[in-house]
Every structure is written in C-alpha cells, then in structure tokens.
C-alpha cells in the first residue's frame, strides 16, 4: 500500500512537471525556436536590476567621453532596431520589459553583457577587437540578442526545474535565497559546469550570433563586420575544444556567420 502511494505520488509529480513544461514553452523571436520559460520576465528583470546596481557600485565606469559616447550611440541605434523588429513581427509584449542603459566599464577583460531589462555593459578590454562602430555593433547586437531571446530565463528555468522542481521564483527567492542567487548567476555565465548547462550555452551563442547579425543590419551597420571581428577575437582564444566551452570554436562560429550573411545583407541593403 505504501509503495503504491509512493508510486502514485511520483506519477503525479511527473505529470505535473510535464504539464508545467508544456505550458511554459515560448517562441524565440526571429529564429522561431521553442524554449522553456518558467518565470515571468518581469521577475527576471527585478533580479537583474539588483545585480546590475551592485555591479556598478563595485566597478569603475570609463571616463573616456569619446568611447563612452560611441557605446551609447551604437547602443541606441541597435536597441531601436530591436524594438522595430519586435513591433513589426508581433512581439510587442516584449517591449515593456526593456529600459535600455549602456555603460562602458574599465577592465582589461575583453567582455560584454546584457541583462534582462536591457542593461548593457561593455568592457574597455574588448574595444581593441571591435575597433570601430561596426565591430561594436557586432558585440552590442549579440549581447542584446541574449536578452531578447530570454536565454537567461531559459537556462534558469532548466536549472530550477532540476534543482527545485520548478517552484515559483518568488517562493524560491524567499525560502532559498542563496541557492536561487547561485542559479541566477549560473544562468548568466558564472559558475557553469560541464554537463547539463554547457550545451544550452553553446546553442544560445549560435542563436545570439544569428539574431545579433540581423539586429545590427537593421540598425544600419554592416553585418560583414562580424566575420572580421570574430577573426580578431580568435587571436585571444583559449584554445579549448568546443565541448568544454560556453562559446563556439572560432572557425565554427565564423562558418555559421558566413552561411547567414546573405540573409543579413538583405536587411542591411534595405536600409
């Protein structure tokens, strides 16, 4: 009897999980890929704002006005292109979650990121690789694409489903704040491990490349700059095999971009 009750409870939990997953599938703009998204994006934005404010307190903003103005100008054009695409293609509901902000931070690390809600940070260490506004648009389009595609929500949804059974984010935050914060950080690239999460990251990188290419083209930046940018970045590569990296191997990424170029150029030529 006891065993039957356990099996019944297990079966109910499995059915509940399947139902939760089926009702939490969303479509990624532009690529049309189906993704798991358990949490309201407004909750993700609230969590990201807290982390973003903390980051700005602990890191130094650049005092180089020329570079900072370039970041803000390119960011404004790319974000406007993103909003146009979303509005023209039936994703107006996404627009309310974005309150764009672009900052240049002093750091030798060649990096950049965009949090849910449109908070974008570019590190000065990536500027020697971007070189000009077109190269910067490659980076900006790619990072913004991660936010538009809600990759963080998807990664966090998978992790929360595995570790906490897909409980409500508010509940998890109140009852297990440290675990929830760790999962959130992992969803945005900190502390990921070989195994479950890395394949999602690589898939997300390719998807962000594709979306970013289109976004920068709509904004009026030459998408062919993406190939040149990633060739420059390859000189800074770690040399790790692709299956141990959250980023695609450079030659694979460049080949994928070249395959997408005719489509991106149609958007660019239409400007």
Question: Which residues are part of the catalytic machinery?
Answer: 143
Which structure tokens are listed for 106?
A: 């002093």
- The DSSP call for residue 167 is -
Q: At CB < 8 A and 24+ separation, what contacts does 27-35 make?
A: 28/149, 28/150, 28/207, 29/85, 29/86, 29/89, 29/91, 29/94, 29/148, 29/149, 29/211, 30/85, 30/89, 30/210, 30/211, 30/214, 31/149, 31/207, 31/210, 31/211, 33/207, 35/149, 35/150, 35/154
The sheet that has 119-123: what strands, in order across it?
A: 101-105, 119-123, 112-115
Euclidean distance between CA atoms 54 and 35, whole angstroms: 29
User: b vs e for 184-198, b when ≥16 Cβ sit within 10 Å of the residue's Cβ?
Assistant: bebbbeeebeeeebb
Residue 153 C-beta-side C-alpha neighbours within 13 Å: 25
| Contact predicate 36/25, CB 8 Å | yes
Euclidean distance between CA atoms 233 and 136, whole angstroms: 12
Euclidean distance between CA atoms 58 and 68, whole angstroms: 18
Cα dihedral sign for 78, 31, 163, 6?
positive
């Amino acid at each position: 009897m006891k065993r039957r009750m356990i099996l019944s409870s297990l079966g109910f939990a499995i059915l509940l999980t399947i139902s939760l997953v089926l009702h939490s599938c969303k479509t990624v703009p532009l690529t049309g890929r189906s993704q798991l998204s358990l949490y309201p994006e407004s909750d993700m934005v609230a969590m990201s704002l807290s982390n973003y404010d903390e980051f700005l307190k602990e890191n130094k903003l650049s005092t180089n006005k020329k570079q900072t103005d370039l970041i803000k100008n390119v960011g404004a054009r790319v974000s406007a292109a993103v909003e146009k695409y979303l509005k023209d293609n039936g994703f107006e509901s996404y627009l309310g979650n974005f309150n764009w902000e672009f900052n240049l931070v002093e750091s030798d690390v060649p990096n950049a990121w965009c949090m849910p809600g449109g908070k974008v940070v570019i590190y000065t260490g990536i500027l020697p690789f971007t070189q000009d506004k077109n190269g910067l648009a490659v980076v900006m389009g790619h990072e913004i694409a991660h936010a538009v595609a809600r990759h963080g929500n998807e990664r966090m949804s998978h992790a929360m489903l595995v570790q906490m059974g897909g409980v409500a984010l508010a509940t998890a935050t109140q009852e297990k704040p440290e675990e929830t914060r760790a999962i959130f950080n992992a969803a945005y690239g900190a502390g990921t491990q070989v195994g479950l999460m890395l394949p999602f990251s690589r898939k997300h990188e390719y998807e962000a490349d594709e979306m970013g290419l289109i976004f920068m083209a709509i904004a009026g930046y030459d998408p062919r700059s993406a190939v040149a940018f990633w060739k420059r970045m390859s000189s800074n590569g770690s040399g790790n095999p692709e299956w141990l990296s959250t980023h695609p191997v450079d030659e694979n990424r460049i080949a994928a971009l070249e395959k997408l170029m005719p489509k991106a150029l149609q958007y660019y030529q239409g400007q």
